[in-house]
């Protein structure tokens, strides 16, 4: 299984939105500069987060992106599925039937192999479901402090 790099970037975006001081909207340019990705690529990730209902887009001069839900109500599975989709990553291709002459004899083994992959996928998703965005914002027993990301991005650009 290969996960898109967008999943890691989406996690970072969600952390930035969750820690933004006073929950002020963050513009995509601030997010893309901080993550060092193109603004157009970042907007694709943001679109996925908006469509999935995790992020709200606010239009206008003072607009940007904000979390739509509380960090305690968002799991890593929500973020993963916003980028990767909800469908199974196990996709049988029926190649075994093309390779083995007695395809009827491999049917049970094929099902067994697929069951192993489906089970692994379920365990993976159950594990992601256990971790909330809020849990990522904790450093030991302390909550991560809020940040003014606009100021930080401006400061780092001037260095």
Inter-CA distances, 99 with 50, 66, 94, 95, 108, Å? 44, 51, 9, 6, 16
Confidence (pLDDT) at 90: 81
Let me know if residue 55 belongs to a domain: yes
Let me know if residue 140 belongs to a domain: yes
Let me know if residue 14 belongs to a domain: yes
Q: Which two tokens stand for residue 10?
A: 């989406």
Distance separating alpha carbons of residues 76 and 102, to the nearest angstrom: 43
Kindly give, in sequence order, each residue whose CB lies less than 8 Å from that of residue 90, ignoring residues fewer than 6 positions away.
114, 117, 118, 121
Residue 57 belongs to what domain range?
Answer: 5-89+132-158
Angle ∠(50,71,151) on CA atoms, nearest 5: 80
pTM of the model: 0.82
CATH number at residue 76: 1.10.10.10
Print pLDDT tens along the chain (159 aa).
Answer: 667 789 999 999 999 999 999 999 999 999 999 999 999 999 999 999 999 999 999 998 889 999 999 999 999 999 999 999 988 888 777 776 666 666 666 777 778 888 898 999 999 999 999 999 999 888 666 667 788 888 876 666 555
Number of domains in the chain: 1
Let me know if residue 63 belongs to a domain: yes
Residue of 150, 156, 138, 155 whose CA lies nearest to 15: 138
Let me know if residue 69 belongs to a domain: yes
Let me know if residue 79 belongs to a domain: yes
Residue of 155, 14, 1, 19 whose CA lies nearest to 82: 14
Let me know if residue 95 belongs to a domain: no
Confidence (pLDDT) at 107: 72
């Amino acid at each position: 299984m290969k996960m898109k790099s967008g999943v890691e970037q989406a996690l970072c975006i969600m952390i930035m939105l969750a820690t933004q001081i006073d929950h002020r909207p963050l513009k995509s340019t601030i997010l893309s500069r901080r993550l060092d990705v193109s603004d157009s690529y970042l907007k694709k990730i943001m679109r996925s987060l908006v469509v999935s209902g995790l992020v709200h887009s606010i239009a206008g001069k003072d607009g940007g992106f904000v979390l739509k839900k509380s960090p305690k109500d968002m799991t890593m599975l929500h973020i993963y599925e916003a980028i990767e989709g909800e469908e199974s990553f196990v996709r049988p291709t029926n190649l075994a039937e093309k390779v083995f002459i007695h395809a009827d004899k491999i049917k049970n083994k094929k099902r067994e192999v697929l069951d192993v992959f489906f089970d692994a996928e379920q365990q993976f998703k159950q594990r992601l479901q256990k971790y909330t965005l809020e849990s990522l914002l904790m450093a030991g027993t302390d909550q991560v402090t809020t940040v003014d990301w606009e100021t930080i991005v401006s400061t780092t650009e001037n260095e």
